[in-house]
């Protein structure tokens, strides 16, 4: 179903009473810019009970009496883009408020959306929903996926610049001002070269640091200490399980006399006495041998007897050997104790076991081999760091040279725009100060502005007047329009303290920006409102003690009437002037370029 058919269906379904209270407006056949706000739906936000606002491409204005609720619509959009909210925003008596927006441009953010775990819509649509309860809790969704406010804020930074009494102003940060100058000068390639050189330098520094850390080891051991530890472990000639055997033998040596006596008794019973086990088994063997000659089946019994005889002989010899081991004299016992002390000391020093000490020996020998070549390796890594640092300095120097040449031209063009916006004797300067080479080069860029003669230029971020700020931003945006990647521009109080020819100049610039961006402007200037591609008006209505904010899209006579109000009355002269403004705006719009898609 086409867009127009859908619009008609939604209008019919809304009902006559609802349309009367909460009118919903649709553009006839919108052509969507990439990244533009298509539709904004608000329910129970402050004085807005329910409004659906469908915008078009190009330059859109929002007008109405002071306090009618124009800023609430902008605030609702900013809520979708991560601005903080509290329960005071919820309309009195409601359980919560909902703001939902539909934007184009998801295809451009597809990789970013996937990184955040959000599914990209096939036709490039972004649907953002924000719910805030009367208790202050809230939830937010992006294409149906729950997301954090941080993600919405990041998306907002990519989509919107708001200029006026708000903080959503990317061009106020030094990094953004530097990027603006780079965009003006066409230095994107040089800036990327600097970033690549900086990454290469950081990688070289990381490799050198990791090598030095590895050579020092976790314990910070020097080569001299490592050599000492290797000698100590190699000279000890540790054997696996040696500590267990030594501790057992040392304990047994304390009972050496009794063990020797028991060994002699075992030997006597087995083979040393007049009647011993082996003697009886010898006689048994002789009988079984004769039996085997008479009966072959006895051979198996004879073999078993032989095995028993051999086992008892082994037992007797083992008892003798063990008695000799534990029956130590003083010198041999002292030698055992010295060995035991050595092994236990190395265990404690190198990991808690003989096996751990042996593994440590292997690790130390490996580090020893690495250290043998360390001097040459470290020298090579140092050369890499120096070479990458030199390359970074050179690329930064090239970028700095370009920035210094572009800065006066940039400042001149912005100043010319400012003088057409009511700052007849103002000037803007782009101050470039050196800094340590980094990923953005070796410069700090600061935009300075002097609105009046005799005043020293001050940083743009310190300008107090929101009206001044909005017009400075308008001048900057006009100069950067063809290069700016942020698709939606919002201007609030752009007309503060201006009128006459300045108002016409403001209108022309906003219309020009509408050729490459979607522009939303809250204005009190008839000249600005008349120049817009889409004109919306906000009005308050009180019914049964409750205040309602209503949104209307103005066309034809309704638009003339609103412009007349803005001109100061609804008389014949005001209506004629309003009609003339609209005709002039239409002629200029037809003579200009069509808005970019």
pLDDT class of 11 with cuts at 50, 70, 90: very low
Q: 354-372 vs 374-419: helix axis angle to the nearest 10?
A: 70
Q: 223-236 vs 330-349: helix axis angle to the nearest 10?
A: 140
Please, are residues 432 and 444 in contact by the beta-carbon 8 Å criterion? yes
Please, are residues 378 and 208 in contact by the beta-carbon 8 Å criterion? yes
The neighbouring-strand residues paired with 448 are: 429, 459
**Closest alpha carbon to 418 in 461, 478, 459:** 478
pLDDT digit string (tens) for 136-184? 888 999 888 899 988 888 888 888 877 765 544 566 778 888 988 998 9
CA distance 326 to 337: 13
pLDDT digit string (tens) for 12-21? 333 333 333 3
pLDDT digit string (tens) for 333-357? 677 778 878 888 888 888 888 898 8
pLDDT digit string (tens) for 435-470? 999 999 999 999 998 888 888 888 887 775 666 776
Among 48-52, 105-109, 134-138, 241-245, the least confident range:
105-109
The H or E element spanning position 452 is: none
The top-scoring range by mean pLDDT among 258-262, 275-279, 408-412 is: 408-412
Residue 278: per-residue pLDDT: 83
Please, are residues 566 and 525 in contact by the beta-carbon 8 Å criterion? yes
CA distance 268 to 41: 107
For the range 301-305, what are the long-range contacts, defined as Cβ-Cβ under 8 Å and sequence gap of 24 or more?
A: 305/281
Please, are residues 406 and 185 in contact by the beta-carbon 8 Å criterion? yes
Q: How far is CA 263 from CA 145, 266, 416, in A?
A: 83, 5, 114
Residues 6 or more apart whose CB falls under 8 angstroms from that of 473 comprise: 161, 163, 169, 171, 491
Phi then psi dihedrals of residue 515, to 5 deg: -75, -20
pLDDT class of 312 with cuts at 50, 70, 90: confident
Does residue 421 sit in helix, strand or coil? coil
CA distance 249 to 244: 9
CA distance 131 to 98: 5
Percent of all residues in the chain with a pLDDT value above 90, rounded to a whole number: 19
pLDDT digit string (tens) for 280-301? 888 888 888 888 888 888 889 9
Residue 188: per-residue pLDDT: 86
Count of CB atoms within 10 A of residue 540's CB? 14
Residues 6 or more apart whose CB falls under 8 angstroms from that of 249 comprise: 325, 326, 336
Q: How far is CA 421 from CA 127, 248, 277, in A?
A: 36, 98, 124
- How high does pLDDT run on average in the chain? 80
What is the C-alpha R_g of the chain? Answer: 45
Predicted model pTM: 0.58
The pair of structure tokens assigned to 126 is: 């972004």
Is 90 exceeded by the pLDDT of residue 316? no
The pair of structure tokens assigned to 7 is: 């619009």
* Residue that wins the pLDDT comparison between 407 and 330: 407
The pair of structure tokens assigned to 570 is: 């609804």
**Closest alpha carbon to 64 in 49, 77, 48:** 48
pLDDT class of 497 with cuts at 50, 70, 90: low
Residue 248: per-residue pLDDT: 74
Residue 542: per-residue pLDDT: 81
**Domains of the chain listed by start with CATH number:** 3-164+457-591 (3.40.50.300), 223-374 (no CATH)
**Closest alpha carbon to 444 in 192, 193, 176:** 176
pLDDT digit string (tens) for 63-113? 988 777 788 888 888 888 888 887 888 888 888 999 999 988 667 777 788
Torsion over CA: 420, 421, 427, 429 (sign): negative
As a whole number, mean pLDDT of residues 504-522 equals 87
Residue 129: per-residue pLDDT: 93
Torsion over CA: 493, 498, 500, 504 (sign): negative
Say how many Å lie between the first and final Cα of the chain, rounded.
22
């Amino acid at each position: 179903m086409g867009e127009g058919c859908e619009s008609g269906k939604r209008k019919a379904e809304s009902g006559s009473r609802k349309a009367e209270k909460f009118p919903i407006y649709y553009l006839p056949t919108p052509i969507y810019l990439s990244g533009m706000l298509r539709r904004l739906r608000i329910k129970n936000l402050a004085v807005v009970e329910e409004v659906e606002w469908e915008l078009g491409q190009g330059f859109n204005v929002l007008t109405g009496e002071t306090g009618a609720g124009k800023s609430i619509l902008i605030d609702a959009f900013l809520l979708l883009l991560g601005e903080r909210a509290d329960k005071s925003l919820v309309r009195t008596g409601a359980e919560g408020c909902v703001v939902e927006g539909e934007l184009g441009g998801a295809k451009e953010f597809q990789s970013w959306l996937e990184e955040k775990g959000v599914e990209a819509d096939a036709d490039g649509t972004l649907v953002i929903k924000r719910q805030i309860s009367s208790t202050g809790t809230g939830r937010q969704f992006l294409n149906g996926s729950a997301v954090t406010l941080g993600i919405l804020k990041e998306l907002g930074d990519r989509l919107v610049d708001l200029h006026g009494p708000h903080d959503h102003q990317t061009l106020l940060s030094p990094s953004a001002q530097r990027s603006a100058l780079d965009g003006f000068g066409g230095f994107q390639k040089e800036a990327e070269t600097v970033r690549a050189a900086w990454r290469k330098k950081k990688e070289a520094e990381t490799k050198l640091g990791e090598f030095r850390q590895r050579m020092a080891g976790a314990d910070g051991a020097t080569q001299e200490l490592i050599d000492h530890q290797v000698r100590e472990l190699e000279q000890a000639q540790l054997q696996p399980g040696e500590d267990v055997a030594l501790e057992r033998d040392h304990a047994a040596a304390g009972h050496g006399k009794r063990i020797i006596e028991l060994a002699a008794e075992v030997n006597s019973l087995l083979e040393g006495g007049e009647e011993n086990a082996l003697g009886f088994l010898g006689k048994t063997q002789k009988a079984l041998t004769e039996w085997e000659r008479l009966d072959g089946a006895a051979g198996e019994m004879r073999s078993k007897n032989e095995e028993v005889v051999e086992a008892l002989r082994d037992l007797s010899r083992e008892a003798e050997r063990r008695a000799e081991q534990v029956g130590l004299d003083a010198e041999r016992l002292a030698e055992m104790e010295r060995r035991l002390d050595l092994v236990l000391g190395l265990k404690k020093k190198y990991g808690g076991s003989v096996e751990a000490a042996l593994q440590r020996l292997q690790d130390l020998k490996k580090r020893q081999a690495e250290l043998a070549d360390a001097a040459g390796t470290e020298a090579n890594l140092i050369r890499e760091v120096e070479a990458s640092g030199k390359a970074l300095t050179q690329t930064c120097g090239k970028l700095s040279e370009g920035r210094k040449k572009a800065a006066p031209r940039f400042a001149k063009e912005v100043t010319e725009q400012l003088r057409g916006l009511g700052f007849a004797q103002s000037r803007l300067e782009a101050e470039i100060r050196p800094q340590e080479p980094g990923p953005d080069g070796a410069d700090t860029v600061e935009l300075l502005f002097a609105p009046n003669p005799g005043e020293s230029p001050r940083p743009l971020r310190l300008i107090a007047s929101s009206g001044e700020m909005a017009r400075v931003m308008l001048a900057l945006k006009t100069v950067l329009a063809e290069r700016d990647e942020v698709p939606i521009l919002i201007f609030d109080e752009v007309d503060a303290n201006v009128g006459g020819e300045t108002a016409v100049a403001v209108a022309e610039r906003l219309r020009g920006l509408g050729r490459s961006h979607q522009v939303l402007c809250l204005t009190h200037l008839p000249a600005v409102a008349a120049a817009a591609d889409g004109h919306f008006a906000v009005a308050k209505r009180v019914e049964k003690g409750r205040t309602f904010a209503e949104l209307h899209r103005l066309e034809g006579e309704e638009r003339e009437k609103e412009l007349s109000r803005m001109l100061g009355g609804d008389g014949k002269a005001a209506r004629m002037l309003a009609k003339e403004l609209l005709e002039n705006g239409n002629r200029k719009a037809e003579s200009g370029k069509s808005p970019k898609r």
